[in-house]
Amino acid sequence: MLEHEIKIPASQAKCYPIEIGTDTLGELWPRIEADFNGYNKFVVTDENLVSAGHLGKLLGKSDVPAFVISPPGEISKNIDTAVSIIETMEKAYLGRDTLVVALGGGTVGDIAGFAAAVFKRGVPVIQIPTTTVAQADSSVGGKTGVDSSVSKNAFGAFWHPAAVYIDVATLTTLDDRQFKAGLVESVKHALIADSEYFDFLQNNLDAVLDRNSDVLEKITHFNCKIKGNVVEADPCEQNKRRILNYGHTIGHAVETASGFELLHGEAVAIGIIGAGMIEIELKLAPQERLERVRQILEKLDVPVKLPPNLAEKDLIDLIKHDKKAVNKWPRFVLLNDIGQVYCPDGQYAVDVAPELAEKVLKKL
């Protein structure tokens, strides 16, 4: 037998800036031109960002090729859209010196990031997130992807952005239901990592709901720090990154069982309450802790109970299909306290008996 070994140098350390401000979108383009001099820019956005005036504000009079996703939303987050984006770049004679700029919510960011990851074996992408989901969660962390007809994010790549620019003023045009549901990821961040942040959210929720820009900047800063720390510690989801899944094991099942009638954040809100009830059953938490969490979610106007048409048996079956399941049952992320994940023996996700999960779902 002949043998030969190939040594690949440790992958280059990645580091990228996240800038958070208010009304910064209109001043951004000259900065991008200067900071990424030498790159041909290509913008990916969706119809709603165009009609809300955000694309016009970003580009001003600059003549930059753009791909406008239509219809907006999850329905277009598929491989066909990624192919259209790539072919549009090719037809515009763009090559490896392309910089993709994603302006929009999580679907735009995920599709544009994925297209950038595979175009000519990878070109840089900048994220300019415009929803509460994208500003708190999807723009940071480097997960990109599109759905297949069978499952979400079936095609994907870890592709970290070259920079993230967040203008919280873009949120003023976001519809109320989307705005509030996206804030559930902020509550999740506070619960898994920072009790001071939880207090801040509780004390400033009216200002958040009024879309006060100072407060939105502060919570965005908390969110990016928390998500950034977790991603730095575990960029490819070996262990610690799983804590971001808090509330998602039940949440994903509820989202699917609702036929996607519930927004992701709304389903995760129910999942967070479910996780809290499991914590009480396992004597990890007193009842009062769950009441604090419930209060904040109720104020966000998101559901905190299972819709009556969802059967526990169906939910248990969906939980068995969770993509993180091993031997047909996933582990759960639970809390020791607000701001602290329960982590016995260094494991961030723990066994919960299916019977206990079923008992909790019955009460939920």
Ligand X SMILES: NC(=O)c1ccc[n+]([C@@H]2O[C@H](COP(=O)([O-])OP(=O)(O)OC[C@H]3O[C@@H](n4cnc5c(N)ncnc54)[C@H](O)[C@@H]3O)[C@@H](O)[C@H]2O)c1
252 is known as an active-site residue: yes
Name the minimum Å distance from CB 136 to ligand X: 8
Task: Answer yes or no: are the C-beta atoms of 77 and 147 closer than 8 Å.
Answer: yes
- Length of the chain, please? 364
Q: Please choose, out of 43-51, 83-91, 276-284, 344-352, the segment that lies near ligand X by the rule CB under 6 A.
A: 43-51
Name the minimum Å distance from CB 312 to ligand X: 25
Q: Judged by CB under 6 A, which of 21, 26, 65, 73 binds ligand X?
A: 73
For position 143 contacting ligand X by CB under 6 A, the verdict is yes
Q: Please choose, out of 44-52, 115-123, 269-277, 338-346, the segment that lies near ligand X by the rule CB under 6 A.
A: 44-52
| Token representation of residue 74 | 């999850």
Name the minimum Å distance from CB 209 to ligand X: 16
309 is known as an active-site residue: no
227 is known as an active-site residue: yes
Name the minimum Å distance from CB 75 to ligand X: 9
Q: Which of 237, 281, 312, 358 is catalytic?
A: 237
The residues that bridge with 337 in the sheet, in sequence order, are 340
Q: Which residue is nearest to ligand X (CB)?
A: 106
Question: What is the maximum alpha-carbon separation in the chain?
Answer: 70
For position 127 contacting ligand X by CB under 6 A, the verdict is no
User: Which residues form the interface with ligand X (CB under 6 A)?
Assistant: 46, 48-49, 52, 54, 72-74, 77, 104-108, 110, 130-131, 133-134, 137-138, 141, 143, 152, 170-171, 173-174, 178, 182
Catalytic site residues?
121, 143, 185, 227, 237, 241, 245, 248, 252, 264
